[in-house]
Chain A
């Protein structure tokens, strides 16, 4: 194996370790080789040695014992403050007086500030009571809107308009646009001819409808799976079909082939028509956790050998 020598830069970086004997034998040898060949590295080592020698001289500076004693006897900041105030030197009656003042101030602060703290809580209680009374008033309106919500929940993500029943005249419309719901009270103001009324509380706002993904499931029975499988694969691929799961299109399993794929929506009709050439089948639309982007459909096709 060819021996690799250290670069000049690496060697210079290792000089301190080399000088303090912290390199292993191989590295030391490499540094020594570098030192013999490079004047720059030698120069660096010279500087390092000079610095170390100077440090040895600096280490001769000593600290006197009186200085250590002076440092250790220095009072702490809190002790300094107390000694500055001279509290301990004050006459006893003055000390008592000062203590009494501190206690009196503490009590006064407690008495004046604590009710303020509770006052804030009382105010919030009053507000809550008012809200509760409002809730009773709007209870009937909420009922009507709940009906509307359940209606909206069944709708797809497309833009739809749900008209409220006549029992809730203040809330005329609630609009669902791409999962964003406009608050009914806003619509009530925006709709011409609607009665002007106090805005409804936040609890009435219709929550966005969560999109539900779906998949088309197909099962086909054919006479020769091995022959049909590559043909279906080709059909799908020519119509923009792409594998959607972990396995490739036409994955052979015991008794059949498995196709989990996506195709553009516009090719849906064409592909299903072509598949009908092999066998009749039913398409079942079922829920799926994955929501597909607009214009793409997801399929799971199982092609099974027809039993004789």
Chain B
């Protein structure tokens, strides 16, 4: 497991859950699962599909128990460095309003730059489906963004 993959997992759960403590707990569990899955894999084999699979599985688990209270701490609070000018309201709005799998596909595909082929393999869908979901997600996010820009103007 590379440091980049660990960062990807941590970022994935940050984008997926609004709560940092939940993101931390889910990241830990997903990394354990990922580690277990790639244990027997050859080092030359691409492990990205397994990363997608692990994050998706743990996301499903944690999305069902959103109300569970995780204890926030300094590490989790300061773990994700957010640029000061970045407004996350639109993102949370988009996450709330949009079908989960579309949001997740956008995270993997655009925000984490995971290859569409790997996402498709990890989810067990076609590449076309991944591309369709990504395109749809971008349009929806753009419409929320456009609306907020319009309102602000």
* Residues of A near any B CB (own CB < 8 A): 13, 15-17, 44, 46-55, 57-64, 66-68, 70-72, 74, 76-77
Closest CB-CB distance, B108 to chain A, in whole Å? 12
The CA of A16 and the CA of B130, in the complex, are separated in Å by 12
Q: Contacts A48-B142, A72-B31 known; A63 to B7 CB distance under 8 Å?
A: yes
Interface string of B112-153 (1 = CB under 8 A from A): 000000000000000000011011011111110110010000
Contact in complex: B32, A44 (CB < 8 Å): no
Query: A62 to B141, alpha carbons, bound, how many Å?
Result: 21
Contact B10 A68 (CB under 8 A): yes
> A-side binding surface: helix, strand, loop or mixed?
helix
A77 partner, pick from B27, B32, B135, beta carbons under 8 A: B32
Q: Give the contact stretch, choosing among B37-45, B47-55, B61-69, B74-82.
A: B74-82
Q: Is the CB of B135 within 8 A of A67?
A: no
Closest chain A residue, CB of each to CB of B76: A67
Q: In the docked arrangement, what's the CA distance between A55 and B90, Å?
A: 11
Residues of B that sit less than 8 Å from A by CB: 3, 6-7, 9-11, 14-15, 24, 27-28, 31-32, 75-76, 78-83, 86, 90-91, 106, 110-111, 131-132, 134-135, 137-143, 145-146, 149
27 cross-chain CB contacts under 8 A: A13-B132, A16-B131, A16-B138, A17-B131, A47-B146, A48-B135, A50-B146, A50-B149, A51-B137, A51-B143, A51-B145, A54-B90, A55-B106, A55-B138, A57-B83, A61-B82, A61-B83, A62-B80, A63-B7, A63-B10, A63-B11, A63-B80, A64-B79, A66-B75, A68-B7, A71-B9, A71-B24
Q: Which residues of B contact A53 (CB under 8 A)?
A: 145
A51 touches B139 (CB 8 A): yes
Question: Closest CB-CB distance, B85 to chain A, in whole Å?
Answer: 8
Best-buried of A16, A67, A68, A77 by chain B (most CB within 10 Å): A67
B134: chain A residues within 8 A (beta carbon) = 16
Interchain CB contact under 8 A, B139 and A47? yes
- Per the bound structure, the CA–CA distance linking A72 and B110 in Å amounts to 25
Other than the given A17-B131, A48-B138, A63-B80, 4 more pairs (CB < 8 A) read A52-B110, A61-B80, A64-B80, A66-B75
A49 near B86: Cβ-Cβ < 8 Å: no
Q: Establish whether residues B138 and A57, one from each chain, have CB atoms under 8 Å apart when the complex forms.
A: no
Which of A16, A62, A68 is close to B135, meaning CB atoms less than 8 Å apart?
A: A16
Bound complex: CA of A200 vs CA of B90, how far in Å? Answer: 79
Q: Which residue of A lies closest to B25 (CB)?
A: A74
Select which of A52, A62, A64, A71 is within 8 A of B27 by beta carbon: A71
Q: When the two chains form their complex, are residues B135 and A50 in contact, meaning their CB atoms are under 8 A apart?
A: no
The residues of A that contact B14 with a CB separation of less than 8 Å are: 61, 63
In the bound complex, what is the Cα–Cα distance between A74 and B139 (angstroms)?
38
Shortest Cβ gap from A81 to chain B (Å): 13
A72 to B2, CA, bound (A): 11
Whether A50 and B28, one on each chain, are in contact in the complex, defined by CB atoms closer than 8 angstroms, is no
Beyond A70-B75, A71-B27, whether A62 also contacts B81 by CB under 8 A is: yes
